[in-house]
Amino acid sequence: QVQLVESGGGLVQAGGSLRLSCVASERAFRSSAVAWFRQNPGNEREVVASISWSGESTYYADSVKGRFTISRDGINNTVYLQMNSLKPDDTAVYSCAARPVSPFDQIPYYRGMNYWGQGTLVTVSS
């Protein structure tokens, strides 16, 4: 069982930056595709970005392309989401999720995720 813990959320003004971290409890995280999602009350959860187990492949939602960057540190079992040029519309609870994959699979999955964190709140003020 992989446990995921997010951190780095907070209150920031529009145009500012935050870096979210997703730390995993198990080494199995290293062979997992990882994705960041966000959700506001009353809205559906949406994928923000995802990364393959090796970090070679990434995916970004159109709404964050050019502003957010997903990356991973295999040694420290951590995936980051660097968020720049934040907008009030980015306000949400951000969660990370993981899906174990085979070593040959470089797809940055964001469906069929097996493990989820509790989330961290990001609030962007105008």
Question: What confidence score (pLDDT) does residue 53 get?
Answer: 95
Query: Which parts of the chain register pLDDT below 50?
Result: none
At residue 27, the pLDDT reads: 78
With H, G, I as helix, E, B as strand and everything else as coil, classify residue 30: helix
* CA–CA gap between residue 91 and residue 16 (Å, rounded): 12
The phi, psi pair for 86, rounded to 5°, reads: -65, 145
> What is the per-residue pLDDT for 2?
84
Query: Which pLDDT does position 74 carry in this prediction?
Result: 87
Write the CB contacts of 74 (distance below 8 Å, at least 6 apart in sequence).
30, 55
Both tokens assigned to 8: 């780095």
